[in-house]
Amino acid sequence: MALPQKLLLEIVTPDHALVREEVDEVQIPGSEGYFGVLPGHTPLLATLKIGELWYRIGQEKHHLAIAGGFAEVLPDRVTILAQIAERSQDVDVDRAEAARKRAEERLARPVQDLDFERARVALMKSLVRIQVSARARTRA
């Protein structure tokens, strides 16, 4: 049986389907680290962490901010079920910067009832959104 030449990439959040495209390569932020997927990859299921997902069509890369969820990898398909996913061009940089600043302030001045993990996650999400938005600005 011949190896597939492309991957069908589907990225879905609870709100909407974000991506459905045939791609050449995907890099995914797995909970155990980033991993790449090419056509013909061995099937696997992975949990996702907060991070940057990118996929390539020809020579063009597309970047998304991802937070939480699952990835299903098959030889000819990758399905991402993400809690949060946002394309680089859709990131509101001012909002992400404000969230980063708020999270940093909370972590710098811990109070007794501070939910440290929640503040840390908020900081991570804002930093990834800022990083991904920079990708869109450098391509434009």
- CATH for 14: 2.60.15.10
- Whole-angstrom Cα distance, residue 33 to residue 45? 13
Same domain, 67 and 99: no
Please tell me the total count of domains within the chain: 2
> Is residue 51 within 8 Å of 66, Cβ to Cβ?
yes
Among 63, 71, 64, 87, smallest CA distance to 32 is for: 71
Same domain, 44 and 105: no
Dig out the tokens for 90 from the structure: 């859709």
Same domain, 121 and 59: no
Same domain, 112 and 81: no
Note the pLDDT tens digit of each residue in 63-109.
Answer: 999 999 999 999 999 999 999 999 988 888 888 889 889 888 888 87
pTM of this structure: 0.83
Note the pLDDT tens digit of each residue in 5-51.
Answer: 999 999 999 999 999 999 999 999 999 999 999 999 999 999 999 99
The region that residue 2 occupies, defined by phi over 0 for left and psi between -120 and 50 for alpha, beta otherwise, is: beta
Same domain, 60 and 106: no
Range of the domain at 104: 89-139
Q: Alpha helix locations (H) across the chain?
A: 93-108, 116-139
